Structure 1
Amino acid sequence: MNCKITGTGSYIPNIITKNADFDKHEFYNTDGTNFPHDNETTIRKFKAITGIEERRYLSENLNTSDIAVLAAQKAIEDAKLDPETLDYIIVAHNYGDVKTGSVQSDTVPSLATRVKSHLRIKNSRCVCYDVLFGCPGWIEGMIHAQAFIKAGMAKKCMVIGAEALSRVIDKHDRDSMIFSDGAGAAILEATEEKGGILAHESATHSFQEAEYIYFGKSNRSEASEDVRYIKMHGRKIYEFALMHVPKAMKSCLDNSGKSINDLKKIFIHQANEKMDQAIIDRFYKLHQTKAPEDVMPMTIHELGNSSVATVPTLFDLVRKGGIKNQKLNKGDVVMFASVGAGMNINAITYQV
């Protein structure tokens, strides 16, 4: 028995925020001192490092669970699935529902339960829970779903990655320009068909790395001490990712029984263009070869970093011909890979 993706869906918010829109922001260092560059220079350097030109934000009337539902509906339709036959709904996120203008995160009931409720699924044996695993959350949810199917506990699972980072960013922190909102979903089913998930790899590095991404106060010293925002040590994350992610990817590919020459696409977390490219280059260097030019589809230029949503959204777009010069064919071997808060790493080798 194998585990294959039979349907995908995504929701990309329609509010576009370009880099130029940050020109009037007041950026500060973490100690509250003035940022050393003017905004034009800051924005130009930001673009050169991350590749991000614009990002998407939710409209005020939507929350993370709402867009998870919208992505789920598309995946269900794509899979031609009766939602009453789902055994599990797993939602990966990090901050729950944060309403516009609120400083509180709402996670009770779970976002997965909210998705099930909005989909009007009556089957009580459809079990719902959330995964908090940093940016690699959707991939980890897929690993969970496969385990349920392989153990005979499920036949059909839906895994969603959804996040509204625009609700937890500090507008006085330059790193706020990285983050965006979005949702992606996939249906994973038991099948006798060849392919599907061939191997997976997961790891948590927390001895020294646990606080590389954290919740902290605003960079603006006059801001409230009681409100917290997403923060990160960018340089440490970059060095960590380059050291550990390529090795995890290699182990995942080796365990799949496939070779580097079999690999057609790598759907890597859209964190930072320069970092992602360096990870891919190091991964191929471990195999004594160079990465093909079209092996790494990218959406970060237009969609930014939407955390758990980046990989499923990217896969959905490529799968449905939504990215120029990128396509998938039956039998293609691909890899999903991510790194994020925890610090967590994971990867899946998958045959379409």
Structure 2
Amino acid sequence: MNVKITGTGCYIPTQVTTNSSFSKFEFLNTDGSPINYSNEVIIEKFKAITGIENRRYVKDNYTTSDIAFFAAEKAIEDAKTDKETIDYIIVAHNFGDIKHGTTQSDAVPSIASRVKQSLKIKNPRCVAYDVLFGCPGWIEGVVQAQAFIKAGMAKKCLVIGAETLSRVIDIHDRDSMIYSDGAGATILEATPNNTGILSHLSATYAYNEADYLFFGKSYNQTADSTKYIKMYGRKIYEFAVTHVPQAMKDCLDQSNTAIEDVKKIFIHQANEKMDEAILKRFYRLYNKSIPEGIMPMNIHELGNSSVATIPTLFDSVKKGMIENQEVNTGDIVMFASVGAGMNINAITYKI
């Protein structure tokens, strides 16, 4: 028995924030001193490295649990399933619900419980809980759902990745331009066929790496004590390009799948240059060249929405929403992610 995704859905916020929107920001160094470049130069370098031109922010009246619910509704509809038959709702996020104009995270009750309430599911044996695993949270939720189903503890699971990073950015930090909002959801069920999840791998590197992504004060030394998402970008880049390719290889080899049979690779949309470097090193491990078009990307228009990047990207490709990208029945694809913790995971999957 394998476990397969039978429905997908996503919510992409309608508010577009362009790179030029940051032209009036006062970007500062970590010590609070001015950066010796104009904002135009900073934005130009940012785009060259990350590939991001636009990003999406939620409307003021929405929170993470709201957009998780929107994506969940679409996934349930896509799977043509009865919501009362869902055994687990697993929601991956990082910062809970943060209402517009506030600075306090709210995750009590859990985001998953709030989604269940919004879906109006009455079945008390539909268990709802959250996963905090950094950007790889959606993949980890899928891995957990598979374990429940294979153990006979569930027949159907709803796994969601949702985040509103626009609510936790420091406007004086250049890295604030990376982050965005979004939600992606999937329904997983058992399948008797040799499709679905073929292999998976997860790892946590915390001995020296746990604080590469963290919550810290604003770079504006006169600001209040509110904390924001912060990262050591160079360390994360080096960590990712060093460890993710090998993790992907170990995962693929575990499935007994040849590298030539992989049709698409869905990597967490964090940084275009980093993802390209990961892909290059992954294929180098097999002494192979990178096939054209194997890595779909939407980071240019959507930015980095953390746990939502892979499920929204997969849903978009699956439904023909990205030009010159498609997946077909029988295709073997990979999912891979890296993020706060520092956590890494990967899945080999047959459509």
Aligned mates of 2:247, 2:151 — CA distance in 1: 24
Other-structure match for 1:219: 219
Q: What CA deviation, in whole Å up to 9, does each residue of 1:180-235 have, x standing for no partner?
A: 000000000011122100000000000000000000000111111x2000000000
Other-structure match for 1:271: 270
Q: What amino acid is the match of 2:231? A: M
Other-structure match for 1:250: 249
Aligned mates of 1:241, 1:216 — CA distance in 2: 22
Other-structure match for 2:85: 85
1:112 counterpart = 2:112: yes
Aligned mates of 2:220, 2:291 — CA distance in 1: 44
1:197-346, aligned counterparts within 5 Å? 197-224=197-224, 226-346=225-345
Residue 2 of structure 1: how far off its partner (Å): 1.2
Unaligned segments of structure 1, at least 5 residues? none
Aligned mates of 1:2, 1:199 — CA distance in 2: 10
Matched pairs, number: 351
Q: What CA deviation, in whole Å up to 9, does each residue of 1:83-104 have, x standing for no partner?
A: 0000000000000000001110
1:135 counterpart = 2:135: yes
Other-structure match for 2:33: 33
Q: Structure 2 length normalisation: TM-score?
A: 1.00
Q: What CA deviation, in whole Å up to 9, does each residue of 1:51-82 have, x standing for no partner?
A: 00000000000000000000000000000010
Aligned mates of 1:63, 1:324 — CA distance in 2: 30
Aligned mates of 2:289, 2:131 — CA distance in 1: 35
Aligned mates of 1:246, 1:215 — CA distance in 2: 27
Q: What amino acid is the match of 1:241? A: A
- CA-based RMSD of the aligned residues comes to 0.4
Q: Structure 1 length normalisation: TM-score?
A: 0.99
Q: What CA deviation, in whole Å up to 9, does each residue of 1:311-347 have, x standing for no partner?
A: 0000000000000000011000000000000000000
Q: What amino acid is the match of 2:38? A: D
Residue 115 of structure 1: how far off its partner (Å): 0.4
Aligned mates of 1:271, 1:290 — CA distance in 2: 23
Aligned mates of 2:181, 2:15 — CA distance in 1: 10
Other-structure match for 2:185: 185
Residue 291 of structure 1: how far off its partner (Å): 1.0
Q: What CA deviation, in whole Å up to 9, does each residue of 1:247-280 have, x standing for no partner?
A: 0000000001101001000000000000000000
1:3-82, aligned counterparts within 5 Å? 3-82=3-82
Aligned mates of 1:77, 1:206 — CA distance in 2: 39
Name the SS of the counterpart of 1:295 in structure 2.
coil
Name the SS of the counterpart of 2:259 in structure 1.
coil
Q: What amino acid is the match of 1:351? A: K
Aligned mates of 1:185, 1:329 — CA distance in 2: 19
Aligned mates of 2:193, 2:13 — CA distance in 1: 35
Name the SS of the counterpart of 1:41 in structure 2.
helix
Residue 35 of structure 1: how far off its partner (Å): 1.0
Name the SS of the counterpart of 1:296 in structure 2.
coil
Other-structure match for 1:195: 195
